[in-house]
Amino acid sequence: MAKKIGLGRGLDALIQEKKVTAPVVNVPAPDGSGITKIATGKIKPNPMQPRRTFRVEALKELTASIKEHGILQPLLVRKKGKQFEVIAGERRLRAATAANLPEVPVILLDIGDQEALEIALIENLQRDDLNLMEEAEGYQELAEKFGLTQEKIAKRVGKARATVANMLRLLDLPGSIKKMLEGGQLSAGHGKVLLAVEIDLEKEFLAARCIRENLSVRALEKVVEKLKHPVKKPRAQKSDLPLDYIRHLSDKLHQHFGTAVHVNSTKTLANGKKVKGSIEIDYYNNEDLTRVLEILGIDSDDL
């Protein structure tokens, strides 16, 4: 069975809400909806278009394809005064203009700014055409301009709420890191880990290190964890007794008790504080303990 090619479930749902029909190409619908053709010069870009980056090579390839086969999927547009505004399909419009097409097939929609932005976002997301920052900024516009909660944004664009929340958090990163995310040098996972670093300069240093050393997200997590919980350096300390004397004393005590004796000297810290010393006498059974106690002058029967 041939695979059905369409606008995607998200776009279909939004368009169906407006009850748009699709009559035969070149036959304008009397109510302003459906597929028709409009002069290329009468269509202008959407100022709310979330996508800002259009790869030159990809655009050239699309232009060549349009010259050969025409536009296979109509643009989504809406009426704006005497002209029309692209809702979805700006890349196709740019390629059609470069190919000198006098007119392009379109579907006219009667929708407001919020729905226009939603459809533009969904179309680009389904095509994987948005970079991370374009996607995040699109969500931010839905939140700030139209007052949508993260839950509502997630529902409208078909994403998990946590995904939307994490994408919006990326906007808090320094500008240099956002450019790395925009260029695909860092992933959203890298950005999420960098958000846990408090100082922006450290964030930027770690981001550059990720690219330089090709660090995975997991490797970056380990680096950040070490920054948050650094290994404590041992305190500088000085033994109050020479090492040779401690060894000599240990040997003498060994001979006296007939068992190993460990002598740990007192120590003086860099701040002048003292660390206590200790003497440990080994024994191996109850009889041995009794013997050691007797040497110390302690009667085990009195204990």
CATH number of the domain to which 94 belongs: 3.90.1530.30
Does 161 reside within a domain? no
Same domain, 256 and 181: no
Give the rounded percent of residues in the chain with a pLDDT score beyond 90: 16
Q: What is residue 223's three-state secondary structure?
A: helix
The reply to whether 32 falls in a domain is yes
Which tens digits make up the pLDDT trace of 216-250?
999 999 998 888 876 666 666 788 888 889 888 98
Give the lowest-confidence range in 165-179, 182-196, 216-230. Answer: 216-230
Given its phi and psi angles, is residue 134 left (phi above 0), alpha (psi -120 to 50 degrees) or beta? alpha
Residues 205 and 260 in one domain: no
Confidence (pLDDT) at 60 = 80
The answer to whether the predicted template modeling score (pTM) of the entire model surpasses 0.85 is: no
Q: Which of 13-17, 108-112, 212-216 has the highest mean pLDDT?
A: 212-216
> Are 123 and 211 in the same domain?
no
Alpha-carbon span 107 to 20, nearest angstrom: 8
> What's the pLDDT score for residue 298?
87
Pairing of strands 103-108, 34-39: antiparallel
Together in a domain, 247 and 192: no
Question: Is 146 part of any domain?
Answer: no
Using DSSP bridges, classify how beta strands 83-88 and 261-264 pair: parallel, antiparallel or unpaired.
unpaired
Whether residues 194 and 289 share a domain: the answer is: no
> Which are the catalytic amino acids?
90
Range of the structural domain that residue 202 is part of: 173-231
100 and 217 co-located in one domain: no
Residues 72, 33 share a domain: yes
Question: For residue 10, is pLDDT > 60?
Answer: no
User: Which residue, 283, 284, 280, is CA-closest to 264?
Assistant: 280
Q: How confident is the model at residue 30 (pLDDT cuts 50, 70, 90)?
A: very low
